[in-house]
Every structure is written in structure tokens, then in C-alpha cells.
């Protein structure tokens, strides 16, 4: 089973409307495509935060135009539609959002009005074709290799319930924590947890929410988990901290630069799972293979190959 994962696509960064990264992903012939946030950019430097002043209808018009532009990129649309044909069988397209496709830069759900949140959720569901029966965007899907179920991917929402950073402030919210506990309870196969906000790979990550992060660690303690995320416009592979068994793997920058408007980073990751063997994780940038690690299924020990 092969999963392609990436994040951060700023259509306006391209002058010709072509994003080569989707051709490179298609060559890998993945079974799944995970889009892990910032599928569009409602704001970008030097206009960060501008959408915060819009009403719901202004927001709807701007967000619809940005989604439409990204979904009209020919090679992205071709890959998206091809992967969707396998939805729920032994592959498909799944994902979640982060700040720029939820509202604006560093947006917290507690600071976004209910009408705007309703618009953003509606449009995310329409274009991504994901509509879980929850307030935010969190859900789980079985991972299959042919007819065999080998585990599950759990997608979390780190924006809808989020408060400003603070030790006792909310990141996930009570309902989402209960959902996560229930999804992990009886799962003994491969577990992937996916979210728009990284845990340790950014200064704006989960550790700024001390209590929620501690609860997350308690829920996941002792389990073999791979956490996939985006956001930072870089690739990263972080081994488990301390005595935990949670790897953090980031692929960010499918079509966006680190600091400026124009550029094509072409960052994406490939997770290739062989039951009873290895989890092979490759991270690519515009020059080719950037990082390569393997994790043994038996004991979750890892080896850095590049």
C-alpha cells in the first residue's frame, strides 16, 4: 500500500498555472493521496490576515475563486479525479485543513465568526468531497491493500476548536478527543494520525497547548503511530521523543515558496507499507529524493538511509 502526502498549494505562486509536483506524484502510482492543509491560500505575505475583515459573503466569493483556480490546474485535477475513482475501495483522496484554507494565517476557530466557519466548511467539503458528520473536519478511514484491511488513517482538525496558544487552552476540543480515543481503542493494525498543524516541527505546534498535548500523549502512549502533517514549507522526519513510539513526518510545499511569492518547491512524501515488513518513507523536493527512512513493523525501529 502506497500513500502520497503533501500540503501547501498556493495557486497564485505560479505564473503559468502548471504545478509539476502532481506529475511526479502520479509517477509513483500511489493508492492514496493525502492533502494535509493549505490546499489554498486565503492570504499570503504581504497581506497576511486580510480576510479577517471580510464578511461571510465576501469570504465565500474569494474562497470559491481560489478553490476553483487550484482545482482547475490540469494535472492536479487529473490526479485528484483518478484517485477519487478508488475512493473507499482500496485507495482514494483524503485530507484536512490548516490555517490558510480554514480562514487566514494562524487563524484560531474561537476567533472566526460562525457564518465564516460555515462557509469554509461548506467549501472544503464541496471541493475535497469530504463531509464528516462532525462540526469540524475530523474522521477516520480504513486503509486497505486490495480486500485486506491493514489499519486506519485518523484525520484530526487542529483549527475548528482551537483557541489562542496557552497551557490550558484548547487545541482539539473534548468531542475530538473522545473521537480519537474511540478510534484507537480496538485498532491493532497500522495507525496514521494526520493533521494540518505539526506537533514538534514548528514553534506554533501542539506543545504550545500544554494540557491538550499532554492528553494526546497519554491517549497515544505505547502505541506505534506515524503522524503526518504539513504547514512548514519543508520536509521533516522526526523520530519518537523520549520513550514514545510516535514518528512525526512532514511534507509541506507542494507548490509554494518558503518566504516569497514565486517558486515551485515540489515537496511531497511517499509512505510505502509492506505488511510484516517495512514502512518505507521517502521525502522529495524539487531536486529529487531528499530524505529516506525505513521503520520496521515488528518493533518500530527505524533506519535512516538518506
Give me the CATH number covering residue 75: 3.60.21.70
Domains identified in the chain, total number: 1
Query: Does pLDDT of 263 surpass 60?
Result: no
Q: For the residues 40-58, what does the mean pLDDT come to?
A: 91
* pLDDT value of position 258: 61
Q: For the residues 201-223, what does the mean pLDDT come to?
A: 93
Helix then strand then coil, in percent of the chain rounded to 5, is 30, 25, 45
* Lowest-pLDDT choice from 15-19, 202-206, 210-214: 15-19
Residue 94: phi and psi, rounded to 5, are -140, 165
Query: Does pLDDT of 195 surpass 80?
Result: yes
User: Which residue range is the domain that position 175 belongs to?
Assistant: 2-304
Task: Quote the CA–CA distance of 197 and 11 in Å, as a whole number.
Answer: 21
Q: For the residues 34-46, what does the mean pLDDT come to?
A: 92
Q: For the residues 33-40, what does the mean pLDDT come to?
A: 97
Quick one: pLDDT band at residue 264, thresholds 50, 70, 90?
low
Q: For the residues 203-207, what does the mean pLDDT come to?
A: 90
Query: Does pLDDT of 262 surpass 60?
Result: no
* pLDDT value of position 167: 96
- What's the predicted TM-score (pTM) here? 0.96
Q: For the residues 131-146, what does the mean pLDDT come to?
A: 94
* pLDDT value of position 257: 67
Q: With contact defined as beta carbons under 8 Å apart, do 206 and 212 qualify?
A: yes
Q: For the residues 158-184, what does the mean pLDDT come to?
A: 97
Amino acid at each position: 500500500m502506497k500513500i502520497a502526502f503533501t500540503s501547501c498549494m498556493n495557486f497564485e505562486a505560479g505564473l503559468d498555472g502548471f504545478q509539476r509536483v502532481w506529475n511526479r506524484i502520479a509517477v509513483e502510482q500511489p493508492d492514496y493521496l493525502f492533502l494535509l492543509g493549505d490546499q489554498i491560500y486565503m492570504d499570503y505575505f504581504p497581506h497576511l490576515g486580510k480576510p479577517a475583515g471580510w464578511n461571510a459573503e465576501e469570504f465565500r466569493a474569494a474562497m470559491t475563486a481560489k478553490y476553483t483556480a487550484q482545482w482547475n490546474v490540469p494535472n492536479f485535477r487529473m490526479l485528484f479525479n483518478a484517485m477519487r475513482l478508488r475512493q473507499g475501495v482500496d485507495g482514494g483522496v483524503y485530507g484536512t485543513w490548516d490555517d490558510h484554507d480554514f480562514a487566514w494565517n494562524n487563524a484560531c476557530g474561537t476567533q472566526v465568526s460562525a457564518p465564516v466557519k460555515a462557509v469554509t466548511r461548506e467549501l472544503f467539503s464541496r471541493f475535497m468531497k469530504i463531509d464528516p458528520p462532525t462540526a469540524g473536519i475530523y474522521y477516520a478511514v480504513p486503509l486497505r491493500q486490495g480486500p485486506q484491511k491493514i489499519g486506519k488513517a485518523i484525520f484530526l482538525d487542529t483549527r475548528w476548536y482551537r483557541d489562542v496558544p496557552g497551557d490550558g487552552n484548547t487545541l482539539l476540543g473534548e468531542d475530538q478527543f473522545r473521537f480519537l480515543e474511540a478510534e484507537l481503542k480496538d485498532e491493532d493494525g497500522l495507525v496514521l494520525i494526520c493533521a494540518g498543524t505539526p506537533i514538534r516541527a514548528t514553534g506554533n505546534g501542539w506543545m504550545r497547548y500544554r494540557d491538550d498535548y499532554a492528553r494526546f500523549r497519554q491517549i497515544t502512549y505505547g502505541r506505534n503511530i506515524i503522524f503526518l502533517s504539513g504547514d512548514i514549507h519543508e520536509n521533516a522526519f522526526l523520530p519518537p521523543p523520549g520513550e514514545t513510539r510516535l514518528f512525526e513526518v512532514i511534507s509541506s510545499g507542494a507548490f509554494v515558496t518558503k518566504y516569497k511569492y514565486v517558486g515551485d518547491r515540489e515537496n511531497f512524501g511517499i509512505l510505502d507499507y509492506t505488511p510484516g515488513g517495512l514502512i518505507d518513507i521517502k521525502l522529495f523536493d524539487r531536486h529529487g529524493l531528499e530524505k529516506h527512512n525505513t521503520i520496521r513493523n515488528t518493533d518500530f525501529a527505524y533506519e535512516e538511509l538518506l
